[in-house]
Amino acid sequence: MNLSKIIKYAGLIIGLLMGFQNLSLSANAVALAWDPTTNTVDGSTVSDLAGYKLYCGASSGSYSTVLDVGNTNTFSVADLLQGSTYFFAVTAYTSNSIQSDYSTELVVTVPDTTPPAISVGASLSLNVDAGGLVAIPNLMQNATVTDNCSLPSGISCTQAPAAGTMIGAGITSVILTAIDEAGNSSRATVFVTVLALPNIVLSSPGNGAIFTAPATIPLTATVTANGHSLNRVQFLNGTNLLGETSSPFIYTWSNAVSGTYSLSARLVYEAGTIDSSPVTVVVNALPAPWNTQNIGTGIVSGNASYSNGVFSVSGAGNISGTADKFRFVYQVLSGDGEIKARVSSLQNAGTGAKAGIMIRESLTSGSRQITLSLLASGKIEFLRRTSTGGSVKTTTSTGNVSPNNWVRLVRKGLTITAYKSSNGSTWTSIGNQSISMASTISFGQATASGTTNTLSTATIDNVTVVP
């Protein structure tokens, strides 16, 4: 564009033709060009033109920078700030330093092509909660964002996945994006490693394991760290600490008395504690596979113990009628089999007391059953209940002189035969009963006192169970 400017020179009016041409912009520079001044306004030639001065400022008409560019009509201005607006004008001057007025002002906005810089911290490690998840935090609050033009407040920042998103164990890439006012963007990635909770299993003893008192119970915990720092494992009986150990996670519980116990293992690690699922173990006063319990309700609790081949079984209640109440020491067998024993004594025996051996379909009080027992009177009783909840039938026979009362029950198919003996080798049949029972039944020893609130104690030895 051609602009007319006026300078006074030696009393003459000189016309100065100038302007910006061929404007070109780069990221940080602008190339300016203007028409050379050749004539004054009255058409005469400017013979002593010495050069041009270029003016630059941040606001219109206010120029903070003046550059003498010499006698040329082009000039490049570098080191401009991207995204900023500049105001340019040019004057011509003669060899006698006579200077024209400003040319028409040219306004130039330097394009912003540089994305903002975003800096993030180190990769993050998190732990899942009890549900196996954890929320992604707001990672932008720890990021540093700078820009060549605008302040961070003028920059849009996003996070994907967004803060609060629930994620599970593994590595998640979280992308942080900063966008400046010119639309330039940059990204940074934070790798969020989520650690699953450690896992602990009480792998030994197994659930339902049975021991004989005084029991030695080996405890073993199997631990999966899942990236955590492990401290120790505590072995618990309910809430009571049995002991603790570092790896390998093995502990021996000695001299456990009879009872039923809930055992578990607790892992102590850098973020807290976590417990295994409990396992139930039974410490009997009896050797495996023998178990003992009261049959029926409403009687005092009986007990049983074992030492050197001799069982001591104490029970209340009565084995009669349509439902039984007594103390039972038993093991489970399938199919045909037999049980034999010697009932060597029956102490604290009221008139209704009895002790002996039994084959029983179930542990319910009205179960089908066959009992062969020594009565307080010294006789042998063969008792049968052939239907669930039905009445019993009894047959009595003379006994032998204590302690030589041997009894034996043999199951073959649907028939159970009762035998007695005075020496355990020569057997006399008392009778037999055809009875339909399940394939898997209980063979065992039974004691009842004849009353609900007192116990009779039987001493039973030479017990043999043959499947």
Token pair, residue 450, equals 């004849």
pLDDT at 10 over 80: no
Res. 320: pLDDT tops 80: yes
213 with 330, same domain: the answer is no
Type and span of the H or E element at 58: none
pLDDT surpasses 60 at 11: no
Confidence (pTM): 0.49
Query: What span, in angstroms and rounded, lies between the C-alpha atoms of 430 and 416?
Result: 11
Strands, DSSP E only, in 99-169? 106-109, 117-119, 124-127, 134-135, 144-146, 156-160, 166-167
For 351, other C-beta atoms within 10 Å of its C-beta total 9
At residue 54, the pLDDT reads 93
Residues 380 and 433 in one domain: yes
Single out the residue of 46, 62, 149, 148 nearest to residue 98, CA to CA.
46
Same domain, 306 and 450: yes
Mean pLDDT of all residues in 201-213:
92
pLDDT of 20 higher than 70: no
Q: Which of 263, 284, 305 is the last residue of a domain?
A: 284
Per-residue pLDDT at 455? 96
Whether residue 61 is found in the same domain as residue 210: no
> Is the pLDDT score of 188 beyond 90?
yes
| Rounded Cα distance, 210 and 249, in Å | 22
CA 461, CA 463: separation in Å to the nearest integer?
Answer: 5
Query: Given pLDDT bands bounded at 50, 70 and 90, which one contains residue 131?
Result: confident
Q: What CATH number has the domain bearing residue 203? A: 2.60.40.10
Query: What's the mean pLDDT in 269-295?
Result: 91
> Containing H/E element for 128?
none
At 436 the three-state DSSP class reads coil
**62, 82, 109 — which closes off a domain?**
109
Distances 287 to 146, 206, 218, 457 between C-alpha atoms, Å: 78, 17, 17, 19
44-59 pLDDT, tens per residue?
A: 777 889 999 999 999 9
Dist CA 371 CA 327 (whole Å):
13
| pLDDT higher than 70, residue 382 | yes
Q: How many CA atoms lie within 13 A of 445 on its CB side?
A: 34
Residues of the domain holding 149: 117-195
Residue 331: which CATH number?
2.60.120.200
Q: What do you get for the CA distance between the two ends of the chain, in Å?
A: 118
Q: Are 297 and 430 found together in one domain?
A: yes
Q: Express each pLDDT in 362-379 by its tens digit.
A: 999 999 999 999 999 999
> pLDDT-based confidence at 30, cuts 50/70/90?
confident
Strands 85-94 and 106-109: antiparallel
Final residue before a domain boundary, out of 78, 109, 140 = 109
H-helix or E-strand spanning residue 7: strand 3-9
Q: Is 170 left (phi over 0), alpha (psi -120 to 50) or beta?
A: left
Whether the CB-CB separation of 302 and 332 falls below 8 Å is answered with no
What CA–CA distance (Å, rounded) separates 376 from 381? 10
What's the domain count of the chain?
Answer: 4
Average pLDDT over all residues of the chain: 89
Angle at the Cα of 323 (from 305 to 410), degrees rounded to 5? 60
Residues 6+ apart with CB under 8 A from 124: 137, 139, 190, 191, 192, 193
Q: What is the dihedral of CA 201, 202, 207, 212, to 10 degrees?
A: 170
* pLDDT score of 259 more than 50: yes
Residue 160 has pLDDT above 80, yes or no: yes
Q: Which residues contact 56 (CB under 8 A, 6 or more apart)?
A: 63, 64, 65, 66, 67, 77, 86, 87, 88
Whether residue 173 is found in the same domain as residue 248: no
| 75 touches 20 (CB < 8 A) | no
Number of other CB atoms surrounding residue 8 within 10 Å: 11
Task: Report pLDDT digits (tens) over 61-114.
Answer: 999 999 999 999 889 998 888 888 999 999 888 888 888 888 888 898 888 888
For residues 169 and 278, membership in a common domain is answered with no
The pLDDT score that the predictor gives to residue 130 is 78
Both 87 and 164 in a single domain?
A: no
pLDDT value at 19 more than 80: no
pLDDT at 322 over 50: yes
Query: What are the start-end ranges of the E strands in 376-453?
Result: 380-385, 393-397, 406-412, 415-421, 428-434, 440-448
- Same domain? 301 vs 432: yes
Mean pLDDT score, 414-425:
97
